Structure 1
């Protein structure tokens, strides 16, 4: 083997020097730190944006659900109860059907067990349902002392004899006489009240929004503790109940010239940022 071949073999089998290895390790370390920082930053942005999107979605759904139900509320059935430390609730009775009555036992006429209304096959009426005629206050809705409410016992199947031209005779649970007649002969049908409550969460200062139903009619507006377990509608509500200027909802009662108005203004907090709804819901139904 000549000297040139030996020199080439020596050159081809030579390894990395210590300086080269340290340099490569440093470069790889810098690249790893840069890439990991980029990945962590992107992951944090994704998590935060997902949290914001979740709160936006649930808040939008809750406000839209409340708006739809409030618009279909029985006239003068809205009432609000606020505890500056723990909750604010709005209660109302969603209308399931409404129509015109033809004959009803109304003062000063005698009490009776039956009344006649006009109904279509699509009207959602059923046994044990309640009816109202000319409710002017929330007491007329929730308290039967001044007779504005009665309960249905039976009625003929819609579209079958003895119904004539959609005239249906309702039988009441007991002998009934309504206190006043409706100027437009309106009659409303509903089954149960509904409450939306902004409640202080078990931990922290934020509020949750829950929907309650199935607890029946009460003369005095019930508190969340006296209602059935509510359905969670939204979280991360940041309103302060002790601040009258920061309540999540305000009720403007109806008058002779104005319909009832609910001002929804829940404020939500997510990742240190706050956004607030300012939504007015007009209850368009009248007695």
Structure 2
């Protein structure tokens, strides 16, 4: 008996075309991958470039803000320094350069003080300070400083220009105060304008070399001031506060600071010329600070 063999059923051509339309060929897949790769590469490059620009701009802005703040802070303290108290020193080997000053805490006119050739006395009277902070017992009284040696030496004896104060008694009705030095003292010279200064501690700004091409600016305070002949090195002033970085001046040949002493006709001048470099961009300040000489 002969079996009947039926031919395999065939899908209609319309359905076959529909099934073929749902897939894609290898060429199409490779083409899509190439296109997506190019798009991803372009977008990622754009994002990386934009991020790099933002980081560079932020770094430059940070250094510029630090430098402006540091220069402004130095300027204000230099202008408020005791006359003839500015002195600049460098290490000699390019390791650091410092400017030291004695800030004025209080200042006004004195009325009756023991001044040579008058005899020494334990007491004195002077006017209250109005523009600055009041004179207190934790300050030192300074009269007629003509050199840094007069400013940075507290006198333990009976004659000098700078003495510690034992107590202060204020008379608000008369707007004056009485000073008790705790011992008999006598000041060397009288101020032509009868001016006194109340001081407390010296302040220094130091450019310190970290590498041969890079320096930092630090501020030092509260380290005392009994250094009449030679201002202290940064290592002798304790821990400084970082004020600015990325300074690239070569200390010694292109120092960030210079000092012109005052004369009878001109005030003293501090020249600030720090050079900053960040992300390959350099900018330099050329700033002059005038310091009064009238004691």
Residue 41 of structure 2 corresponds to which residue in structure 1? 33
Query: d(CA) in 1 for partners of 2:140 and 2:55?
Result: 49
Query: d(CA) in 2 for partners of 1:120 and 1:43?
Result: 54
Query: d(CA) in 1 for partners of 2:181 and 2:14?
Result: 112
Residue 229 of structure 1 corresponds to which residue in structure 2? 239
Query: d(CA) in 1 for partners of 2:215 and 2:138?
Result: 36
Aligned pairs, number: 278
SS in structure 1 of the partner of residue 12 of structure 2: helix
Query: d(CA) in 1 for partners of 2:38 and 2:171?
Result: 79
Residue 149 of structure 1 corresponds to which residue in structure 2? 162
Question: Shift of residue 85 of structure 1?
Answer: 2.2
Q: Which runs of 5+ in 2 are unaligned?
A: 1-10
Question: Shift of residue 69 of structure 1?
Answer: 0.5
Query: d(CA) in 2 for partners of 1:85 and 1:44?
Result: 34
Instruction: Answer yes or no: is the 8 Å Cα contact 1:73–1:285 preserved in 2.
Output: no
Question: Shift of residue 192 of structure 1?
Answer: 0.3
Residue 7 of structure 2 corresponds to which residue in structure 1? none
Query: d(CA) in 2 for partners of 1:285 and 1:254?
Result: 7
TM-score scaled by length of structure 1:
0.92
Instruction: Answer yes or no: is the 8 Å Cα contact 1:72–1:285 preserved in 2.
Output: no
**Pairs within 5 Å for 1:40-59:** 40-59=48-67
Q: Do the aligned partners of residues 232 and 241 (structure 1) sit closer, same or farther apart at CA in structure 2, a change above 3 Å counting?
A: same
Aligned-CA RMSD value: 1.9
Deviation per residue, 1:150-203 (Å, 9 max, x gap): 1111011452xxxx51121111143211110001101111110000000011x4
Query: d(CA) in 2 for partners of 1:98 and 1:71?
Result: 14
**Pairs within 5 Å for 1:1-287:** 6-14=12-20, 15-83=23-91, 84-120=93-129, 123-144=133-154, 147-157=160-170, 159=172, 164-201=173-210, 203=211, 205-217=213-225, 218-219=227-228, 220-243=230-253, 246-284=254-292, 286-287=294-295
SS in structure 2 of the partner of residue 177 of structure 1: strand
Question: Shift of residue 285 of structure 1?
Answer: 5.4
Question: Shift of residue 133 of structure 1?
Answer: 0.8
Instruction: Answer yes or no: is the 8 Å Cα contact 2:108–2:129 preserved in 1.
Output: no
